[in-house]
Amino acid sequence: MPLFRRLRRLPPLALPFVTMLVAAPLLAAPWPAPTPSASGAQPPAQARLDVGSFTLLLNGQRAGREQFSVQRITSQDGGTLEVRSESAIGDRRVAMRLETDSVGSPVRYSVEERRGADVTLRLGGQRVRGRFATLARSSTGEAAREYLLRPGAVVIEEDGIVQYALLVRDRTLTDGAGVTLPSLTPIANTQGAVRVVLETSTDTIVVAGARREARRWRVAASSGDVRLVWADSEGRLLRLSIPARNLEALRDDVPR
């Protein structure tokens, strides 16, 4: 079934918030300036946790770049973390903003995708009364979706990089142990589960020519897709690999 074939009615309370998120262009705004909340309140107070960029390699060849920021925030509707990214591969550019609560579950989400000068997708999402409502607009139409927001649910996208930092940040596991989390993939209009396993807490990788101690995680989605994620002890993402797609994201600079 095509992604945007059917439009479902959203609760009256949710629709104004989600519509406003979709209407606001991400790529047109200076990056990474804070975005006002959908309710019209002042932007939340912020404290930077991480900022940087990744070089994206496909089959060992440079294919694109993603810049990102992770910030601690305090918002009126329960948001405590904000992740922003802007990636470019060829003529495709994607800007993302994800606001989560203390366990990494989404509070507010927005994505804008462009190919050249054309906007090909705008998607907004908002948590409302234990559910997560999304509205997507593309060249093929408009689609709304409402997900039951299960405890600990996380947002993961097939092409996402920095989102995976939220899966491992502040997570305490012993080597070989894992946890299964409910997951939402709003762009694909699906939900499922993701298994996060700490493979080793004593790995070493090279970042910008410097050797760094790292924890290596294995993240497996219910679809079978596997990602290897390297992060430091503070949960700052250092590297991500998708073996089945021969795709790697290598951090350009040592975290500071």
HEC string of 133-175 equals: EEEEEECCEEEEEEEECCCCCEECCCCCCHHHHHHHCCCCCCC
**Among candidate residues 92, 63, 76, 38, the one with its CA nearest the CA of residue 242:** 63
Distance separating alpha carbons of residues 24 and 127, to the nearest angstrom: 17
Q: Which residue has the higher pLDDT, 152 or 19?
A: 152
Longest dimension (CA), the chain: 53
Sole residue written with tokens 């975005």: 35
Distance separating alpha carbons of residues 98 and 120, to the nearest angstrom: 19
Q: Which residue has the higher pLDDT, 26 or 226?
A: 226
Span 2-19, pLDDT tens digits: 333 333 444 444 444 455
Q: Over range 105-111, report the average pLDDT.
A: 97
What does the mean pLDDT of the chain come to?
86
Span 53-83, pLDDT tens digits: 999 999 999 999 999 999 999 877 767 999 9
- Looking at the chain, the whole-number percentage of residues with pLDDT higher than 90 is 74
Give domain limits for the chain: 14-251
Rounding to the nearest 10 degrees, give the CA dihedral for residues 203, 209, 210, 213: -10
